Chain A
Amino acid sequence: MRAESDISPPELDPNRYWPVLRYLDKAGIAIAPIPQDLDDRDLLASLYRAMVLTRTFDQKAVSLQRTGRLGTYASSLGQEAVSVGVGASMHKDDVLLPAFRDHGTMLWRGVTMVEILQYWSGDERGCDFAGPREDFPVAIPVASQAPHAVGVAMAFQLRKEPRVAVCILGDGATSKGDFYEAINACGVWNLPAVFVINNNQWAISEPTRMQTAAPTLAQKAVAAGISGSRVDGNDVIAVHDAVSRAIDEARQGRPQLVEALTYRLGDHTTADDARRYRDDAEVSARWQEEPILRLRNYLVGRGWWTKADEEALIKEIRAQVDAAVEDYLAMPPQEPTAMFDHLYETLPQALSEQRRMVEDGDG
């Protein structure tokens, strides 16, 4: 008999309460019937293309950093299916509130490679997206974008617009109050918001088990009174399905939390060396589950993808990335006084003297 003082948390079977949605196994074999609208050659080819673009872009960005032509950069290596799957699930007029590793989502939504490179080179113009004008720029302070999603979703609700705020966070972000405050408030007000946790298992050097004793991150939705679900984040078909359904639900005023299980194959950023805290063997094993090869195997198995398709795609994407890099490197720097240009809508008189000093090279 249990002693009265021994009050343990309820032992809920995560696989029963938060089953992981998965259509493709790690070899790319379908293990469950794929919904018809998703099992479509053109759709899957476009997801595949976007994932290859994201990885190629990431690799290029890292090499630019290594050669001194880009600042610190956070690669999304291995997490392309989460990133692209979320982007593909959103409507154009939904609003994205990304963390800082969601290049695939941003690219899908029309943020340009040049803009992303500009931002990571240390140039604010990279957040002035020509495409999705209402999307938020990346949030560097972890989880701080989650409360913004509450405000954006409330704006949609107040204006009775059928739009959804989609917020992406990392596993580390779920330890923060901002995350809990945001999902809790969305529950209170039935806001059209979806929170996607990119659970890549590592918050810099801390594995998820150091963030929480909860066996899943999806179950944190329970405390907020909203729905939570889990999906294999390396199966882009499953991510697309799970997040699309979550967004549909949210559009009806039922906020959602989706935990996408993936793995950070690269370092945290170019300033990090993951070998200090992580076994190579663990990483090698995880390479067997990576999302791009998985989808390619499926496409090839369906007869939807040939060697020629692959070669043509690689060639096209490399050219596209190279052209973007060329445009990025050719961008003239901002004027020194640009730091005053958007501080306020109209620069207060009190700051005009400092601006003049910068203009005169008196800095």
Chain B
Amino acid sequence: MAEITLVEAVAMAQARAMQDDPSVLVLGEDVGKDGGVFRATDGLLARFGPERVRDTPLAEGLIAGMSVGLAAQGFRPVAEIQFMGFVYPAVDQIVNHASRLRNRTRGRLSCPMVLRMPTGTGIKAPEHHSESMEAMFAHMPGLRVVIPSSPSKAYGLLLAAIRDPDPVIFLEPTRIYRAVREEVEDDGEAAELDRCFILREGTDITLITWGAMTRETLAAADTLAEDGIHAEVIDVATIKPLDEETILRSVGKTGRCVIVHEAALTGGFGGEIAARLADKGLLSLTAPVRRVAGWDTVMPLPRMEDLYLPSVARILKAARETVNYQ
């Protein structure tokens, strides 16, 4: 079994899905010969041909909108948006059509499509290439919003997303596209959607995060352990619908919680998790819930992106203050 990167796992999952199900199509800008600007569709054109692996004109609204048409006709389009900063023209199609086609036709038509796109900062890319807008999609009823945190999760969750009968926004953290290698077996096994994963068990504090920030959060948990603080680390994975039970159970045990995300603080998905804890877990809390997030600034250009990204030090500071809260 080979060790592969997250982006290779994304390609492997698409190849597996296309092999298993002839209704799966891949489309987007440069997904064919070029194999995608990040190579997330590498090898698919050679293997499955230009009918099923389709380079589209440079038009994100078209990519999302034609996916709605294909999905309503029984295909399972897996469409790539090149960077999250370019998804906005497609948002009209996602919120006005993809997310509600099943509902507004009372189930007559449905929209089993996946819209994949890179998310987040950390690769010194040009302007508009580094945003994290998962909370925007999480606010739209009728969608699933999924963010993998490792090659094996990327493989399993993407397979699950492609097989899901409803639209899924699949956000791939660019910062960890190639940062780690992991053994991933191409066994066609999907991971479970709509649930959080506990990456590390602990008793003193719950650190909740997703995507690329799992790395800094796990590193912070390692450091805390050296001080005798045992942190439980939760990878939310499916932002929407949210697996509230796993979060409440963990915080019920630890009584303390820090939420970590790369997206800007205000309106970020951490606010939703904090609200759920206030609603349903208040009495188990022994300290206020803290959030460590990106600043409420415009995403800085690459020379300052490291200052934007929540650091291990910021996570540690918040975690220690939470643990020491009297």
Give A residues with C-beta under 8 Å from B: 95, 97, 124-125, 127-129, 133-134, 136-137, 139-141, 144, 146-156, 158, 165, 177-178, 181-182, 184-185, 188, 339, 341-345, 348-351
Contacts and interface: CB of A to CB of B under 8 A. Distances in A.
Contacts of A344: 102, 142, 165-166
Interface centre among B67, B73, B97, B110 (most CB of A within 10 A): B73
Given A185-B56, A350-B241, A147 B104 contact: no
A344 B64 CA distance: 19
A178 B61 contact: yes
B67 A151 contact: yes
A141 B92 contact: yes
A136 B109 contact: yes
10 contacts: A124-B103, A141-B96, A144-B93, A147-B61, A152-B73, A153-B69, A156-B73, A182-B65, A344-B165, A350-B243
B241 A150 contact: no
Nearest to A152: B69
Contacts of B72: 134, 136, 148, 151-152
B194 interface: yes
Interface of B: 25, 51, 56-57, 59, 61-62, 64-75, 77, 89, 92-93, 96-97, 102-110, 141-142, 165-166, 194, 240-245
Contact of B65 (A129, A147, A156): A147
B123 to A, nearest CB: 29
Given A137-B105, A184-B59, A188-B57, A151 B69 contact: yes
Given A148-B72, A151-B71, A351-B241, A124 B104 contact: yes
Contacts, number: 140
Given A177-B59, A345-B110, A144 B97 contact: yes
Nearest to B280: A353
Interface centre among A134, A147, A342, A350 (most CB of B within 10 A): A147
Nearest 6 A-B pairs (CB), nearest first?
Answer: A151-B69, A147-B65, A155-B73, A350-B241, A151-B66, A348-B241
B69 A149 contact: yes
Contact of A343 (B62, B141, B243): B141
A129 B66 CA distance: 22
Given A141-B92, A181-B59, A344-B102, A155 B74 contact: yes
A93 to B, nearest CB: 12
A185 B110 CA distance: 23
Given A128-B108, A155-B75, A343-B103, A144 B69 contact: no
